[in-house]
Amino acid sequence: MTPVYRPPRETDFARFPASTPIVIDNGASTFRIGWAGEAEPRLAFRNIVQRPRHRSSGETVTVIGDADPALMKYFDCTRTSIRSPFDDDVVFQFEYMEYILDYGFDRLGATSEVDHPILMTECECNPSFSRARMSELLFETYGVPSVAFGIDDAFSYKYNQKLGNCGEDGLAISCEFGTCHVVPFLKGQPVLGACCRTNVGGSHITDFLRQLLSLKYPYHAASVSWDKAEELKKEHCYVAHDYMSELQIFKNNKEEAEEKTRYWQLPWVPPPKDEPPSEEELARKAAIKEKSGQRLRDMAAAKRSQKIEGLEKKLSELEDIMEQLDDSDEIEETAILSRTGYLSQQEVKSDILKVTQSLRKAKGESNGNEENADASGADKYPLVSVPDEMLTPEQLKEKKKQILLKTTTEGRIRAKQRRAEEAALREKQEEERRTENPELYFDELRARYLELSEKVDQRKRQKVNGNNNSSGAVGRGERLNAAQKERMRLLTTAAFDRGKGEDTFGMRDEDWLVYNKMSKENEEDNDGDDDESELARIASKIQEVDPTFVNQHEAAEPAADPHKVRPLTAEDFKIAIGTERFRCPEVLFQPGMIGVDQAGIDEMVSISLRRLVEDESVKERLCQSILVTGGSSLFPGMIPRLEAGIRQFRPYLTPLKLVRASDPILDAWRGAAAFAASREFARQTFTLEDYREHGESLFHRYNIVYTL
Amino acid sequence: MESEVQRAEMLLAPTMAFKKVQMADKYPKGQSRGRQWKHLRFLLQAADATSLPPDRPNYLNIQSPPSIYPPKRYCDVTGFEAPYVDPRTKLRYADPEVFKQIRNLPDEYVQRYLALRNAAVVLR
């Protein structure tokens, strides 16, 4: 169904005689206007005003009710918001009210004047201030001959009484847009002294839903507009029969909760996928790469040959000099040397050596020095095997050094061998255990694997964020990892520990280990490496037995990258409406949920009955004719919940009957239209003269008598 | 004005033949409208309360009193029953998972959650 934004202008305004009243149901959400005696209002629109600026001309215009969003692009709404003449259920913004009435009368087809009596609905106990301003507006601006005000809930009740839904004595529970009312009726008239009002209504439900959804999905907050929330509310919300047990379902019973959850898929276009490049593309890219590589190689080769050329030239020059030097005597020598800029023959020689070396290098031959560097171990320590008597004191010193070096290297080799032997032995033992009891062995392996992986993980975590304090402060202390912190602590305690009693440091050998911890190089401990290699070994062993086994350590590595952005999917654009479906309408029963410290609608019935100064028999009669009306009473499950709620406040086994109004939204207007068509209506109105005579005090006592 | 806007008749005409006083005369352009209406509701309620005898029904005294039931506490985030209150954010929460979540919430969201039940810190 496409909404009709602009209702057509009615054309039969002139057809009605001046005595036919115009009936207006001035509801906080919807404004309905029509003719007395008709079955339906001629016109209904949302009771809101927008005053945006026209983009091209810059003038401020007025838009009433809902507007076609496609046309709103011509207007700049940034500096205005949607305005309503209402606060809760009282009209108090008469400038906006005037725009709305303008529009209502205009659409109804008024041309020269609005010369009809007006029946307008209002809330229970409308403040006289509001009545006075409203009648002033109607009399002075529109020239209306006479006006009557009536309560919308009373009209709705009377209309349903006429239809036989409820009796002469009864109660009306009305859940409206801004408020909820309970009004008792005695002999067909509302007892205003006993009615009560809670300032929670449909607008609060919508707002609560909107806020909850935008808090739950901050990225989609812009999508959850007021209108959308209103739509979701009307479509999906329901009243839970027992709120606590309904919550338990959602908390404990995942399947049933899933069944009850509705999803709203926001429009989402999957991002274009990166297709793997075609063969041609790959070939082309490879060719380009090859080409540029070739060019670089060519350049390098040219450079090298140039260098070789230069070096060869220099070498031949130097050789020439050497030859000359060799052939000549001393005097000539100095002359040659001074000419070439060398100091001695030695220098020339060393230069030649240098040049030949770099030439070799340039030509790609291996350097001669490298070969020498790899001397065999035997002649590394030449002095070790020489008896002491044959050595000078210096050589003795050298010998001591060499012996030390030798023993350490040999020790290292021995340790290596021992380790290898141990490993082999362990391997053998394991093999034996494996053949003995393969299952036990496998379990043991797994247990060991888990233990080790836990240890390694923890170490890693400590390394990465030794202190994950939630304060998020980033002082120097926060940036260090746990090991570094420990080191700092040790250093500071060591520095300030002097003079505190007897110094026992060094009494035990373990004390010296503190330096191990303090030294910086020790930061990456070999312990961890051992563990890791052990872990890898065990993992490979398990994998031998169980090919399905996945080494978590290797598998977890790539996923740990925190900067990788997960591509968005349609799932991310899905809005789940679960508990919100019944949590939002619940505010009618528990206004405390949104911070309104008043009784809920079920309790209001008991309050109303308490305020009614009547016998218990009368109250019992009232409870057999309870009418539920108003737009917010349309939630599924409303009537059973209300019934259960009211029963709690009534004596045990007293009869209770609740009826939903035939049309909770339109009945108020229909009842008013029927009332305005009756002959009684003319006696209930007041004119401009009456108003001038009595002023505002007229309204203190003004209450119409409702007739069928 | 664009032709489609005209055709849709979406704008209210500035003058109406059936009105005795036009909008522009009542609220002249550029003149301050008097923004006292923000507190009008309170003024009006005060006026009603003093000028009317207290035994007669008026807009103020037909309000419902607070509920006789002790108010139930619900988790501000999930809506479940909330046995706990976070002393730092003052949010109510149902279980440790929600607690983790609320501890990571930015302050703006904490205040918005609190505002839902009218408990936000209002700086005046």
pLDDT tens digits for range A80-127: 788 888 888 888 888 889 999 999 999 898 888 888 999 999 998 888
**CA–CA separation, A360 and A679 (whole Å):** 125
Contact A211, A201 (CB under 8 A): no
Q: Give one DSSP letter per residue of B62-100, joined into a string.
A: TBPPPPSSPPP-B-TTT-SB--EE-TTT--EESSHHHHH
**CA–CA separation, A22 and A107 (whole Å):** 13
A490 by Cβ neighbours in 10 Å (0-12 / 13-18 / 19+) ranks as middle
Asked if the structure places residue A392 within a domain, the reply is no
Structure-token pair, residue A7: 């209702």
Distance between first and last Cα of chain B: 44
Contacts (Cβ under 8 Å, ≥6 apart) of A487: A517, A518, A520, A523
Contacting residues of A for B58, CB less than 8 Å apart: 125, 127
Any idea what DSSP says for residue B81? B
Residue of A5, A90, A196 lying closest to B62 (CB–CB):
A196
Any idea what DSSP says for residue B63? B
Residue among A210, A246, A208 nearest A575 (CA): A210
Residue range B38-75, pLDDT digits in tens = 555 666 666 666 666 677 788 888 889 999 988 889 99
Question: Do A208 and A340 reside in the same domain of the chain?
Answer: no
Question: Do A594 and A704 reside in the same domain of the chain?
Answer: no
Question: Do B76 and B56 reside in the same domain of the chain?
Answer: no
- Beta strands A626-629 and A170-175, pairing class: parallel
Half-sphere exposure of B1 (CA within 13 A, CB side): 16
- Is residue A152 classed as helix, strand or coil in its secondary structure? helix
Q: Show the domain range for B53.
A: 36-64
pLDDT of amino acid A172: 94
Residue B74 to chain A, least CA–CA distance (Å)? 8
Asked if the structure places residue A315 within a domain, the reply is yes
pLDDT of amino acid A550: 67
| Contact check, Cβ <8 Å, A196/B47 | no
Question: Do A211 and A251 reside in the same domain of the chain?
Answer: yes
- Is residue A549 classed as helix, strand or coil in its secondary structure? coil
What is the signed CA dihedral for A615, A617, A618, A619, rounded to 10 degrees? 90
- Is residue A278 classed as helix, strand or coil in its secondary structure? coil
Residue of A5, A105, A470 lying closest to B18 (CB–CB):
A105
Residue of B8, B47, B64 lying closest to A598 (CB–CB):
B64
Touching B: A residues 69-88, CB under 8 Å: 71, 74, 87
Contacting residues of B for A57, CB less than 8 Å apart: 1
Question: Do B94 and B121 reside in the same domain of the chain?
Answer: yes
Q: What single-letter amino acid sits at A577? A: I
Contacting residues of A for B41, CB less than 8 Å apart: 87, 90, 92
Contact A512, A506 (CB under 8 A): yes
Asked if the structure places residue A148 within a domain, the reply is yes
- Is residue A23 classed as helix, strand or coil in its secondary structure? strand
**CA–CA separation, B56 and B44 (whole Å):** 17
Q: How many CB atoms neighbour CB A288 within 10 A?
A: 10
Asked if the structure places residue A700 within a domain, the reply is yes
Q: Give one DSSP letter per residue of A288-324, joined into a string.
A: HHHHHHHHHHHHHHHHHHHHHHHHHHHHHHHHHHHHH
Residue with tokens 């303090």: A518
Contact B76, B95 (CB under 8 A): no
Asked if the structure places residue B28 within a domain, the reply is no
Domain final residue pick, A333, A367, A401: A367
Distance between first and last Cα of chain A: 35
| B43 → chain A, closest CA residue | A129
Question: Do B47 and B92 reside in the same domain of the chain?
Answer: no
Q: pLDDT grade, residue B83 (50/70/90)?
A: very high
- Is residue A237 classed as helix, strand or coil in its secondary structure? coil
**CA–CA separation, A333 and A325 (whole Å):** 6
**CA–CA separation, A104 and A157 (whole Å):** 25
Asked if the structure places residue B113 within a domain, the reply is yes
Mean pLDDT of successive 10-residue stretches along chain A, which has 708 residues = 66 88 92 92 90 84 83 80 85 88 90 89 87 89 91 93 90 93 92 92 94 91 89 93 91 85 84 76 91 93 91 88 80 77 78 86 60 48 71 78 85 90 86 81 83 81 54 52 76 67 71 73 56 79 72 51 66 86 94 92 92 88 92 92 92 90 92 91 88 82 82
**CA–CA separation, A588 and A605 (whole Å):** 13
Question: Do B106 and B85 reside in the same domain of the chain?
Answer: yes
Degrees to nearest 5, angle at CA A531 with A528 and A534: 150
B98 by Cβ neighbours in 10 Å (0-12 / 13-18 / 19+) ranks as buried
| Contact check, Cβ <8 Å, B64/A593 | no
| Contact check, Cβ <8 Å, A110/B109 | no
Question: Do A291 and A358 reside in the same domain of the chain?
Answer: yes
Domain count, chain A: 3
Asked if the structure places residue B100 within a domain, the reply is yes
* Torsions phi, psi for A33 (to 5 deg): -135, 140
- Is residue A83 classed as helix, strand or coil in its secondary structure? strand
Question: Do A216 and A256 reside in the same domain of the chain?
Answer: yes
Asked if the structure places residue A616 within a domain, the reply is yes
Question: Do B79 and B121 reside in the same domain of the chain?
Answer: yes
Residue with tokens 């030509």: A363
pLDDT of amino acid A557: 46
**CA–CA separation, A451 and A174 (whole Å):** 66
Structure-token pair, residue B113: 């959650």
**CA–CA separation, A588 and A593 (whole Å):** 9
| Contact check, Cβ <8 Å, A111/B17 | yes
Question: Do A300 and A357 reside in the same domain of the chain?
Answer: yes
Residue of A9, A140, A192 lying closest to B57 (CB–CB):
A192
Degrees to nearest 5, angle at CA B84 with B80 and B89: 100
Touching B: A residues 646-705, CB under 8 Å: 700
| Contact check, Cβ <8 Å, B58/A125 | yes
Touching B: A residues 233-272, CB under 8 Å: 244, 247, 250-251
Residue B111 to chain A, least CA–CA distance (Å)? 11
Any idea what DSSP says for residue A267? P
**CA–CA separation, A362 and A261 (whole Å):** 76
Residue of B4, B10, B65 lying closest to A63 (CB–CB):
B10
* Torsions phi, psi for A150 (to 5 deg): -145, 160
Question: Do B56 and B85 reside in the same domain of the chain?
Answer: no
Contacting residues of B for A92, CB less than 8 Å apart: 37, 40-41, 44
**CA–CA separation, A119 and A145 (whole Å):** 11
Q: In this structure, what CATH number is given to the domain that contains residue A39? A: 3.30.420.40
Residue B37 to chain A, least CA–CA distance (Å)? 8
**CA–CA separation, B71 and B92 (whole Å):** 13
CA quadruple A153, A154, A155, A157: dihedral positive or negative? positive
- Is residue A573 classed as helix, strand or coil in its secondary structure? helix
Residue among A53, A215, A335 nearest A583 (CA): A215
Asked if the structure places residue A57 within a domain, the reply is no
Question: Do B49 and B92 reside in the same domain of the chain?
Answer: no
| Contact check, Cβ <8 Å, A93/B80 | no
Structure-token pair, residue A282: 């790959």
Structure-token pair, residue A261: 């959850």
Q: E strands, A552-687, where? A: 574-577, 626-629, 658-660, 686-687
Asked if the structure places residue A704 within a domain, the reply is yes
Residue range B102-111, pLDDT digits in tens = 999 998 999 9
Question: Do A308 and A249 reside in the same domain of the chain?
Answer: no
Domain final residue pick, A367, A400, A419: A367
Question: Do B116 and B84 reside in the same domain of the chain?
Answer: yes
**CA–CA separation, A576 and A264 (whole Å):** 6
Residue B75 to chain A, least CA–CA distance (Å)? 10
| Contact check, Cβ <8 Å, A92/B19 | no
Asked if the structure places residue B31 within a domain, the reply is no
Q: Show the domain range for A38.
A: 1-48+84-165+661-708
Asked if the structure places residue B17 within a domain, the reply is no
Question: Do B123 and B91 reside in the same domain of the chain?
Answer: yes
Question: Do A38 and A127 reside in the same domain of the chain?
Answer: yes
Q: Give one DSSP letter per residue of A355-372, joined into a string.
A: HHHHHHHHHTPPPHHHHH
Domain final residue pick, B21, B47, B64: B64
Q: A64: which strand partners?
A: A49
Half-sphere exposure of A545 (CA within 13 A, CB side): 17
Any idea what DSSP says for residue A270? P
| Contact check, Cβ <8 Å, B48/A592 | no
| B7 → chain A, closest CA residue | A6
Question: Do A321 and A226 reside in the same domain of the chain?
Answer: no
Question: Do A320 and A358 reside in the same domain of the chain?
Answer: yes
**CA–CA separation, B84 and A672 (whole Å):** 51
Asked if the structure places residue B46 within a domain, the reply is yes
Question: Do A160 and A259 reside in the same domain of the chain?
Answer: no
**CA–CA separation, A311 and A300 (whole Å):** 16
Q: pLDDT grade, residue B120 (50/70/90)?
A: confident
| Contact check, Cβ <8 Å, B41/A87 | yes
Question: Do B52 and B87 reside in the same domain of the chain?
Answer: no
pLDDT of amino acid B30: 65
Contacts (Cβ under 8 Å, ≥6 apart) of B26: A98, A141
Residue B54 to chain A, least CA–CA distance (Å)? 11
Domain final residue pick, A334, A367, A400: A367
Residue among A52, A47, A120 nearest A84 (CA): A47
Question: Do B59 and B82 reside in the same domain of the chain?
Answer: no
Residue A57 to chain B, least CA–CA distance (Å)? 8
**b/e string for A367-406 if b means 16 or more Cβ within 10 A?**
eeeeeeeeeeeeeebebeeeeeeeeeeeeeeebeebeeee
Which H or E run includes A181? strand A180-186
Structure-token pair, residue A310: 């230069």
Residue of A61, A208, A244 lying closest to B116 (CB–CB):
A208
pLDDT of amino acid A374: 43
Interface test with B, best of A77, A102, A237 (most B CBs within 10 A): A102
Residue with tokens 């005000």: A149
Domain count, chain B: 2
**CA–CA separation, A628 and B80 (whole Å):** 29
Asked if the structure places residue B24 within a domain, the reply is no
Contacts (Cβ under 8 Å, ≥6 apart) of A199: A88, A178, A179, A591, A596, A598, B63
Residue B65 to chain A, least CA–CA distance (Å)? 5
Question: Do A291 and A354 reside in the same domain of the chain?
Answer: yes
Asked if the structure places residue A43 within a domain, the reply is yes
